[in-house]
Structure 1
Amino acid sequence: MLTYNNNHKRSMISQEEINRWNVELHGQSPSEIIRWALSQFGSDEAIVSTSFGPYASVLLRLVTEIDPLISILWVDHGYNRPATYKYAEKLQNLLDLKLHVYSPRLTAARRDALFGSLPIARDNEGALRQFSIAMKLEPFTRAMEDLKPRIWIAGLRQEQNSNRQSLDIVSFDSTFQVLKINPLFYWTDVQMKEYLLQNNLPNEFDYFDPAKGDEKRECGLHASWARNAVNKQKANK
Structure 2
Amino acid sequence: MFTEKQIEELNEAFKNLTPTEIIKKALEFSGDAVVTTNFRPYEAAILHAVSTVEDKIPVVWCDTGYNTPQTYRHAEQVIKDLNLNIFLYVPKQTSAHRDVVLGIPSIDTPEHDLFTEQVKLEPFRRAMEEHQAKVWFTNLRQGQTAFRNTIGVFSLSKAGVLKVSPFYYWSDDKLDMYLEENNLPNEFKYFDPTKALENRECGLHA
Give the TM-score of the pair, scaled to structure 2. Answer: 0.96
User: Partner of 1:61 in structure 2?
Assistant: 48
Cα distance in 1 between the residues matched to 2:109 and 2:175: 31
Contact 1:51 1:75 in 2 (8 A): yes
Matches for 1:178-217 after TM superposition, within 5 Å: 178-217=161-200
Residue 165 of structure 1 aligns to a residue in which SS? helix
Matches for 1:154-173 after TM superposition, within 5 Å: 154-173=138-157
- Deviation track 1:76-116 (CA, whole Å, cap 9, x = no partner) reads 11100100000010001100000000001111111111113
Structure number with greater CO (CA < 8 Å, separation at least 6) is 2
Residue 123 of structure 2 aligns with an amino acid whose one-letter code is P
Residue 22 of structure 1 aligns with an amino acid whose one-letter code is N
Moved >6 Å (runs of 4+): none
User: Partner of 1:82 in structure 2?
Assistant: 69
List alignment gaps of at least 5 residues for structure 1: 3-12, 224-237
Pairing 1:52–2:36 present: no
Q: 1:36 to 1:125 in 2, by over 3 A?
A: farther
List alignment gaps of at least 5 residues for structure 2: none
Out of 30, 38, 56, the position equivalent to 1:41 is 30
Q: 1:216 to 1:128 in 2, by over 3 A?
A: farther
Contact 1:70 1:98 in 2 (8 A): yes
Residue 22 of structure 2 aligns to a residue in which SS? helix
Contact 1:47 1:73 in 2 (8 A): yes
Residue 206 of structure 1 aligns with an amino acid whose one-letter code is K
- Deviation track 1:111-136 (CA, whole Å, cap 9, x = no partner) reads 111113x235xx33544332211110
Q: 1:126 to 1:190 in 2, by over 3 A?
A: farther
User: Partner of 1:22 in structure 2?
Assistant: 11
Bigger radius of gyration: 1
Cα distance in 2 between the residues matched to 1:203 and 1:92: 13
User: Partner of 2:94 in structure 1?
Assistant: 107
Deviation at 1:213, TM superposition (A): 1.8
Superposition CA RMSD, Å: 1.2
Contact 1:119 1:213 in 2 (8 A): no
Q: 1:69 to 1:76 in 2, by over 3 A?
A: same
Give the TM-score of the pair, scaled to structure 1. Answer: 0.84
User: Partner of 1:143 in structure 2?
Assistant: 127
Q: 1:14 to 1:197 in 2, by over 3 A?
A: same
Pairing 1:218–2:205 present: no
Cα distance in 2 between the residues matched to 1:27 and 1:52: 26
